[in-house]
Structure formats: structure tokens, C-alpha cells
């Protein structure tokens, strides 16, 4: 009997939905390849966190990888920081940041006119700010950035300076607990010094004279203490990689010790090069045992409330799956991290379809890949935290519990 020894794990971000009229976007999409995988595989539905809990992409991905999000999710900051390439360490306090525009004490633009190039600004902050504690500040795409504080007696129990809405006064950082007073002071120092540097920065003077909003302040939010995570390879004995365009998913992979395999053409939107991404993932299987692939576009279409856009993107994903059909010795998993119904324009707790195709699975009577058919499958209804155990069993790497 053949046993698959590799795992190719696809997360079609937010692909799962509710019916609009008679069918969901997945049911309406043209998906011969995914249907063939379902036909020769085993299907089910899955609550990525727990029934009725609306997952974020971050908490859902942690759960799918077998890391209890209630234990390891300490806020968005740590995963964003890891995603932009900061080598975060357990005990760091991390934030996601925006370059924004401050005028007369008010935040007049939370994205600083969607500034594109912030490398020089970030560099000047890294060089010029001194708050008596080590910090790493790094720009990301567009107006985004991340920051990590590293040292003794730091805490993530601090408020944000982000008023969340435009034309509201910028806030100060405050300690929520007494152990965070030092951190709040460091952040207020950081803020004052960075404003000084940004105000007079040539990049901003140029922007102002061109009539563009200057990126003269940093908004920091999503504070989180970087958790101590057992690396994926240590946990499962599988050499792993992540293929994704979304910084948050890359960050989760990196924090779990996965290698980030990048490729050109990933945008995180519906214009992403899905064929290229799937090929990159298949190639990564040559020297990894486990490859996580996140394909983001369907989530974007769901948030936009656009049924046809979501359906058509799912059809495009299916075309890329033609090369997955011929894989040997590989467990192929296709699921989603949560539902993003076009009728709701946000994540919901509706369970997602999951399908496993590979050697030894008990092929069931499901012939199509979608939310409704999957509910009749042999996997029945699982939780996200179960899936790695099931896969380890299928590839014959699970240990026996008891004699």
C-alpha cells in the first residue's frame, strides 16, 4: 500500500460563502479540477477555530497549523512584524504601524496619502530615534510598517495613539496595567522623536511642496508580546515552507519556523498570478515535506461584496489546479481559513469546506468541491486544530496513544 509522504496544504482565503439565491460562489464557479480532487478524495466541513467563532485570517491559520490561537495569538503586531521580515524573538513587544499625516494635533490622513515609498523615512527613524531601549522599525508595502521593542520589563498592555478615524486628535500612549508604564513612556518618547525627524525630512518637504500629505507621524497599534512558538519542524518532524503574498500569513509561517518561498506575481488580490503561485508551491515540495499555500483574492472579493468577482477568481484558481492532479506521494488539502460571504462583506463563522486527496484516504461520495457537497463527506465536521493530526496519521507519522 502506498503512503503519501508530503503535504501540500492550500488555504483559499475567504473562499467559503453563503448561498446568494440558490448557490454559493464556489458552487457557481467552474471547478473541474477541484471537483476531480473531491471526487477521488475525502471531504468534510471545518470550524477553523470553533463553531460560531468568527476567525481572523491570523487566528485561523495558527489553528490550521495546530497552534491553539487562544494560547499563541497575542495580537496582530507580532505576526505583521515577522511578515515584514523582522526577526522577532519571544518576549519582544511588536506593533503594526501606519505612516500618517498630522496637522494641528489632528490625524488628517491615516495613510499619508497612500504614500508608496517610505524606505528613507524608516531608515531615518531607525538611525535618529533613541529611546534607551532596542527597537527595530521597518517599512512594509505602501503606508505600512512594523516595530518591535526588545529589552527588559516591556509589556504589550498599552493603548494605541491611533484615533482610528480621520480628523480626530492623535492620542497618547497609556499603560493599561502598572507593569506597562515603562513601555508607554518609551512609546511616547519614540513618537515625539519620530515626529521631529519626519517633519523636517526632505521626503516630506518634497511631498508638502508638491501638495501631497506628508508622512509626518507613525500610528502604532496591534500591540502584542511575541509568543514562544515551538517550531513546526520540531513539532511534526516536517521541513516546511510557506508560499503567500499576504504579510500576515508570511509572518505566521515565519514565526512557526517555516521557510518563506517567494515568487514574483503574487499581489494578494484577484489579479494575482495563481498559476505561478501553485507552480512555486509544487516546486517547493521538492525540498520540503509540508508546503502551506495561501491564495488571497477570494477574501478580497468577499469583503467587496462582489459575487461575480469571487466566482470568477475561484474559476481561475481551479485552472491552476490542473497541475496538482498529477502529483504523486502527496497529500493535497484544499480548504479555507474562514467564510467571507459577499452578503456580509466580512468574515463569518460558517464552517468551511475541506478536502483531502492522497494515498489511503477513504474516498467518499462527494463529487464536487463546495460548502454544500462537502457537508456530506466522510470527514464530517472537524475543528481546525484537528487537521494536522489527521494528516500526520494519513502520512503514517503519527504516534500511537497508549499500547
The residues that touch Zn ion, with contacts defined as CB under 5 A, are 13-14, 57, 299, 337
Decide if 92 contacts 151 (C-beta within 8 A). Answer: no
Provide the phi-psi class of 205: left if phi over 0, else alpha when psi is between -120 and 50, else beta: alpha
- Nearest distance in Å: CB 348, Zn ion: 11
Closer CB to Zn ion, residue 173 or residue 307?
307
Closer CB to Zn ion, residue 15 or residue 320?
15
Closer CB to Zn ion, residue 13 or residue 318?
13
Are β-strands 144-150 and 93-103 bridged in parallel, bridged antiparallel, or unpaired? antiparallel
Decide if 98 contacts 143 (C-beta within 8 A). Answer: yes
Closer CB to Zn ion, residue 300 or residue 386?
300
Closer CB to Zn ion, residue 62 or residue 361?
62
- Nearest distance in Å: CB 191, Zn ion: 29
- Nearest distance in Å: CB 15, Zn ion: 9
Angle between helix 247-255 and helix 76-83 axes, rounded to 10 deg: 90
- Nearest distance in Å: CB 319, Zn ion: 22
- Nearest distance in Å: CB 362, Zn ion: 29
Nearest Cα residue to 339 out of 328, 330, 327, 352: 352
Are β-strands 6-12 and 330-335 bridged in parallel, bridged antiparallel, or unpaired? parallel
For 201, the enclosing helix (H) or strand (E) is none
Q: DSSP string spanning 227-252?
A: P----HHHHHS--EEEE-S-HHHHHH
Count, in order, helices (H) and strands (E) of the chain: 15, 14
State whether residue 28 is helix, strand or coil: helix
- Nearest distance in Å: CB 225, Zn ion: 23
Closer CB to Zn ion, residue 233 or residue 306?
306
Closer CB to Zn ion, residue 39 or residue 300?
300
- According to DSSP H, which parts of 84-177 are helical? 119-128
Closer CB to Zn ion, residue 14 or residue 25?
14
Q: Percentages helix, strand, coil for the chain, rounded to the nearest 5?
A: 35, 20, 45
Closer CB to Zn ion, residue 43 or residue 57?
57
> What number of residues does the chain have?
403
- Nearest distance in Å: CB 334, Zn ion: 15
**What letter does residue 324 receive in the DSSP assignment?**
T
Q: What is the dihedral of CA 6, 251, 254, 84, to 10 degrees?
A: 130
- Nearest distance in Å: CB 102, Zn ion: 29
Half-sphere exposure of 285 (CA within 13 A, CB side): 21
Closer CB to Zn ion, residue 217 or residue 252?
252
Q: How far apart are CA 388 and CA 376, in angstroms?
A: 21
Q: How far apart are CA 140 and CA 179, in angstroms?
A: 30
Number of neighbours of residue 99 by Cβ within 10 angstroms: 28
Provide the phi-psi class of 366: left if phi over 0, else alpha when psi is between -120 and 50, else beta: beta
- Nearest distance in Å: CB 296, Zn ion: 7
Residue nearest to Zn ion (CB): 57
- Nearest distance in Å: CB 346, Zn ion: 7
Amino acid at each position: 500500500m502506498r503512503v503519501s509522504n508530503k503535504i501540500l496544504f492550500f488555504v483559499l482565503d475567504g473562499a467559503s460563502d453563503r448561498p446568494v439565491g440558490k448557490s454559493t460562489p464556489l458552487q457557481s464557479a467552474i471547478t473541474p479540477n477541484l471537483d476531480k480532487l473531491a471526487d477521488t478524495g475525502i471531504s468534510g466541513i471545518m470550524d477553523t477555530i470553533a463553531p460560531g467563532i468568527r476567525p481572523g485570517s491570523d487566528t485561523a491559520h495558527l489553528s490550521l497549523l495546530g497552534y491553539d490561537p487562544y494560547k499563541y495569538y497575542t495580537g496582530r503586531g507580532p505576526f505583521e512584524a515577522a511578515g515584514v521580515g523582522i526577526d522577532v524573538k519571544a518576549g519582544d513587544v511588536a506593533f503594526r504601524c501606519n505612516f500618517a499625516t498630522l496637522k494641528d494635533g489632528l490625524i488628517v490622513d491615516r495613510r499619508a496619502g497612500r504614500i508608496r515609498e517610505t524606505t528613507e523615512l524608516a531608515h531615518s527613524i531607525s538611525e535618529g530615534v533613541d529611546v534607551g531601549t532596542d527597537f527595530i522599525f521597518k517599512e512594509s508595502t505602501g503606508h505600512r510598517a512594523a516595530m518591535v521593542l526588545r529589552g527588559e520589563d516591556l509589556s504589550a498592555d498599552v493603548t494605541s495613539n491611533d484615533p482610528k478615524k480621520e480628523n480626530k486628535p492623535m492620542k497618547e500612549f497609556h499603560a493599561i496595567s502598572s507593569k506597562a508604564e515603562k513601555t508607554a513612556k518609551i512609546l511616547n518618547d519614540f513618537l515625539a522623536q519620530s515626529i521631529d525627524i519626519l517633519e523636517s525630512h526632505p521626503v516630506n518637504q518634497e511631498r508638502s511642496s508638491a501638495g501631497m500629505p506628508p508622512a509626518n507621524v507613525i500610528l502604532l497599534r496591534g500591540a502584542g508580546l511575541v509568543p514562544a512558538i515551538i517550531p513546526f519542524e520540531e513539532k511534526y518532524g516536517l521541513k516546511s515552507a510557506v508560499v503567500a503574498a499576504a504579510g500576515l500569513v508570511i509572518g505566521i509561517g515565519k514565526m512557526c519556523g517555516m521557510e518563506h518561498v517567494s515568487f514574483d506575481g503574487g499581489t494578494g488580490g484577484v489579479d494575482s498570478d495563481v498559476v505561478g503561485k501553485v507552480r512555486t508551491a509544487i516546486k517547493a515540495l521538492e525540498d520540503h515535506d509540508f508546503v502551506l499555500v495561501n491564495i488571497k483574492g477570494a477574501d478580497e472579493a468577499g469583503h467587496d461584496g462582489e459575487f461575480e468577482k469571487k466566482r470568477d477568481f475561484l474559476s481561475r484558481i481551479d485552472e491552476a489546479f490542473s497541475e496538482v492532479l498529477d502529483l504523486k506521494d502527496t497529500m493535497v488539502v484544499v480548504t479555507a481559513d474562514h467564510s467571507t460571504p459577499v452578503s456580509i462583506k466580512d468574515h463569518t463563522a460558517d464552517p468551511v469546506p475541506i478536502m483531502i486527496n492522497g494515498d489511503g484516504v477513504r474516498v467518499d461520495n462527494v463529487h464536487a468541491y463546495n460548502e454544500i457537497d462537502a457537508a456530506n463527506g466522510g470527514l464530517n465536521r472537524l475543528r481546525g486544530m484537528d487537521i494536522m493530526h489527521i494528516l500526520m496519521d494519513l502520512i503514517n507519522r503519527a504516534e500511537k496513544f497508549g499500547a
